[in-house]
Structure 1
Amino acid sequence: MWGYKVIVCLCLIYLTPTNSTRESEGSVFDQIFEDSLVLPGEIKYTSDEFLHMGIIFCNVTFYEKDTGIETTKHGRQFKNMIRSLFKSSEGTPLHMVFLTDQQSKHFIKQIMTSEIVKVLRAASIGPGTEINDFLNVYREGTPWKFPRKLRVEFADINYFSTTFKEELDHLKLWYGNMGQEEVKIGSDGKTYIYTISRKYQKDLFYIAPFYHKVFPKELKYIAFFDVDLQFKKDLSELIEHRKFMSGSEAIAVGLEQTPHYYLVSVNHRKKYPDSKIGFHGKTQGFNTGVVIYDLEKLRKSEIFDLMLTPENYRTWVYKYYFYGTVGDQDLFTQMYWEVPDLFYILPCEWNLQTHKDPSMSVETEKIYPLYHDCPHEPKILHDNKYIL
């Protein structure tokens, strides 16, 4: 969230790799991967030379290990994400931080190694101390390039659970509500039983508000991504949005592209008829599949940490008439409704979501296009479609 196999099937015959090929691949992997699982505050690469990206990938189960993680939904998503990351690269140096655990680290490295080997076999990088040249490998007519520098580090996600246990428990109380099983009649006339996934009881869905406290002070920002993404553009274009953020805007995040927050805040609007909370536009709520955290601004903010209190959570939940169910996404949505100056809204094409709930009512389906409207081609496609 892992067997390892590289299959080449393009009407080409590959002989057993030569010793020089193995040495070349080995030298590249030695450059790329830091082998240790370190504390988040101990990551090494913090300079502006790299684009810094974070991914949460942990809790690989014994079942997934036995069956092969690449055969699971989560494993396939991760493999496709990494493949699209390389394919969309225009050579931007990339520093990847995986928040993970010791058990999962091995499988992350296996999948990434598998995808890198495919690039190596298609166009030799060659031995050396650095990956100096772009790789132009054509797949379906599209140039496939590789980051000029790639560094991968593994940070212990359990550090958050031990360091912020009380804070995480408070967040889960207000933003990890399991709710009741609900029966819905969809616009297609079918009956659906709706429940909240128990996965949102895990600490990993509540740790984002504490990134600025644990990553090294030399690290100015980090962009976090879900694993169910397909990258269509080099990520340097995304990070350019840091230049457009105002002095107070510390978190850049896209909008939720369904009427979800419109529906859950209905009782708020009944009490406050003039409220536009949940309406399509800036108040329609967030989707945290793609987020840029300006760590410098969060450290300097006079209000961000002060807002993270159980008293505020209680006030906001009662004010907007809904408990959160999906962790810090709900927290950030309510925080934005309270203090919009802390957030910068990313253009829709940087988190174009595929989710459409089949259990939505006829009335909800009528307004769905208003929330899902994005006139641009996706630069990051978020494949979070509903799976029965």
Structure 2
Amino acid sequence: MWSVCLSVLLVCIYDGATSSILEEFVVYKPVIFDELILPANLKIVGDDFIHANMILTNLDYKLGDPKEPRIVGQMRGFLRSLFTESKGTPLHLIFHTDNISKDVIIPLVVQEVGGAIAWKLFGNKKDKTNAKQDWKLPKFYVEFVDISYYYTTYRTQIDSMKDLFCTERLDYEIQVNTTVYKVGHYCQKKFLHDLFYLQHLYPLTFPDTINTLLSLDLDLIFRIDLQELQDEFSKMSESEMYGLGKEFSDHYFRKSYEYRKNNPDTQIGQAGPFQGFNCGVVLYDLKKARRHLDLISVEHAKELVDHYYYYGGMAEQDLWVLLKWHHPETVYNLPCVYNYQVNIFKAMEMEKKMYSDSSRIDIYGKINNEHYYRKITHF
């Protein structure tokens, strides 16, 4: 019955209010909870579901309008690939959002689930997904967390993190071999938004009955069932509580130059486990993290910034990098195939032009002869 009802959605043109679509397709009422709630009040908890968190705000758009925002197209790809690559693993999708955006997210979920089902039913000959004959529509729930709760409750913490990791423009010089390069640093305007400073708050705000969490950007395309990513938690050591894939640009090599100049034997910022991270995919072992909240406090972040002579420019992503540098036992190096950044080739070309030493970036796929196989692509 689910498949029959949901597949119809592919050919439905939705142009009404959110409540209308849930009234028309009553099968969604038990699985999409359309109210904005506090994170502590999430209904779906425990270990029976993979808990995946996303952020989307300020999306004032009516589905069907000819000028579709880029983020809507990205979210379509995110949802469609998530459901077409499913092998039946139960999912709990959590969106930190606002009312305006929520009314866009709900019909998007409805459309893309229906589209995935229709594709699997009628497009088998063209099916190039990895799930193929093992495909199963997952049991899933969708909940919405009121993002403004963070902005009011944690105003001081957010502003303090922003001051640390979105600093004003700075020009400085770095030396590679015998050549001196002038480098300009600045924080992108988008990183002035509060939503880029929430990740360190999740261990504080999520209910204690959620033990693990995946934090996912919406510009991802999946080639795996999400259980494969979830299985990485079992590979973490007792002390590892966060998991991130490497950042493939040379951003953190440049940002750690001052520290390396004063500590010439360090591996900080060099190719390998200390080259930096990208937070498009983050694994949280919340059970462990709650026991060590001091590590992600504003006070400790200030200490790390001072210790590494660090000028922030990539928002909260910088916090995870500094945490790995100073407490390497706490951060798991997620295999890079789970956060394959498509700008890697651009970064490598820039690398060749700017520096003669091309070994400063460690590329997981190349080293392991995987020919850059993408399990999760990050655009």
Partner residue of 1:140? 127
Partner residue of 2:259? 268
Between the aligned residues of both structures, percent identity stands at 32
1:321-366 deviations in Å (ceiling 9; x for gaps): 2211121110111111111111111111111111234765723475
Q: Which amino acid aligns with 2:206?
A: F
Provide the C-alpha distance between the structure 2 equivalents of 1:89 and 1:333, rounded to a whole number of angstroms: 31
Partner residue of 2:328? 340
Partner residue of 1:129? none
Structure 1 residues 273 and 366: alpha-carbon distance in aligned structure 2, compared to 1, 3 A threshold: closer
Q: 3-state SS of the aligned residue for 2:158?
A: helix
Superposition pairs for residues 289-308 of structure 1, below 5 Å? Answer: 289-301=280-292, 304-305=293-294, 308=297
Provide the C-alpha distance between the structure 2 equivalents of 1:162 and 1:154, rounded to a whole number of angstroms: 17
Q: Does 1:116 align with 2:116?
A: no
Q: Does 1:44 align with 2:46?
A: no
Superposition pairs for residues 160-175 of structure 1, below 5 Å? Answer: 160-175=150-165
Structure 1 residues 380 and 28: alpha-carbon distance in aligned structure 2, compared to 1, 3 A threshold: same
| Deviation of the 1:193 alpha carbon | 9.4
Provide the C-alpha distance between the structure 2 equivalents of 1:26 and 1:7, rounded to a whole number of angstroms: 13
Provide the C-alpha distance between the structure 2 equivalents of 1:23 and 1:209, rounded to a whole number of angstroms: 34
Q: 3-state SS of the aligned residue for 2:159?
A: helix
Structure 1 residues 150 and 70: alpha-carbon distance in aligned structure 2, compared to 1, 3 A threshold: farther
Provide the C-alpha distance between the structure 1 equivalents of 2:356 and 2:81, rounded to a whole number of angstroms: 31
The answer (yes or no) to whether the contact 1:259–1:367 under 8 Å persists in 2 is no
Q: Does 1:241 align with 2:237?
A: no
Provide the C-alpha distance between the structure 2 equivalents of 1:211 and 1:247, rounded to a whole number of angstroms: 20
1:228-284 deviations in Å (ceiling 9; x for gaps): 111010110111111111111111111112221001111211111111110010000
Provide the C-alpha distance between the structure 1 equivalents of 2:94 and 2:273, rounded to a whole number of angstroms: 30
Q: Which amino acid aligns with 1:330?
A: D
Provide the C-alpha distance between the structure 2 equivalents of 1:74 and 1:307, rounded to a whole number of angstroms: 29
Q: By percentage of residues, which structure has more helix?
A: 2
Superposition pairs for residues 58-77 of structure 1, below 5 Å? Answer: 58-60=57-59, 62=60, 64=61, 68=65, 71-77=68-74
Q: Aligned pair count?
A: 343
Provide the C-alpha distance between the structure 1 equivalents of 2:356 and 2:68, rounded to a whole number of angstroms: 34
1:22-53 deviations in Å (ceiling 9; x for gaps): 99981332232111111111110002221111
Q: Which amino acid aligns with 2:77?
A: N
Q: 3-state SS of the aligned residue for 2:290?
A: helix
Q: Does 1:35 align with 2:38?
A: no
Partner residue of 1:285? 276
Provide the C-alpha distance between the structure 2 equivalents of 1:274 and 1:141, rounded to a whole number of angstroms: 48
The answer (yes or no) to whether the contact 2:10–2:112 under 8 Å persists in 1 is no
Q: Does 1:317 align with 2:305?
A: yes
The one of 308, 332, 342 aligned to 1:354:
342
Provide the C-alpha distance between the structure 1 equivalents of 2:202 and 2:277, rounded to a whole number of angstroms: 18
Q: Which amino acid aligns with 1:309?
A: V
Partner residue of 2:16? none
Provide the C-alpha distance between the structure 1 equivalents of 2:196 and 2:77, rounded to a whole number of angstroms: 22
Q: Which amino acid aligns with 2:49?
A: F
Structure 1: gaps (5+ residues)? 1-5, 9-13, 15-21, 125-134, 183-191, 384-388
Structure 1 residues 219 and 314: alpha-carbon distance in aligned structure 2, compared to 1, 3 A threshold: closer
Provide the C-alpha distance between the structure 1 equivalents of 2:83 and 2:125, rounded to a whole number of angstroms: 12
| Deviation of the 1:368 alpha carbon | 6.9
| Deviation of the 1:7 alpha carbon | 6.9
| Deviation of the 1:164 alpha carbon | 1.1
Provide the C-alpha distance between the structure 1 equivalents of 2:238 and 2:256, rounded to a whole number of angstroms: 30
The answer (yes or no) to whether the contact 2:275–2:361 under 8 Å persists in 1 is no
Which shows bigger deviation, 259-268 or 195-204? 195-204
Provide the C-alpha distance between the structure 2 equivalents of 1:123 and 1:255, rounded to a whole number of angstroms: 34
The answer (yes or no) to whether the contact 1:251–1:342 under 8 Å persists in 2 is yes
The answer (yes or no) to whether the contact 1:25–1:120 under 8 Å persists in 2 is no
The one of 356, 375, 378 aligned to 1:379:
375
Structure 1 residues 354 and 194: alpha-carbon distance in aligned structure 2, compared to 1, 3 A threshold: farther
Which shows bigger deviation, 68-77 or 51-60? 68-77
Q: Which amino acid aligns with 1:305?
A: D
Structure 1 residues 24 and 316: alpha-carbon distance in aligned structure 2, compared to 1, 3 A threshold: closer
Structure 1 residues 322 and 234: alpha-carbon distance in aligned structure 2, compared to 1, 3 A threshold: same
Q: 3-state SS of the aligned residue for 1:349?
A: helix
- TM superposition score normalised by structure 2: 0.81
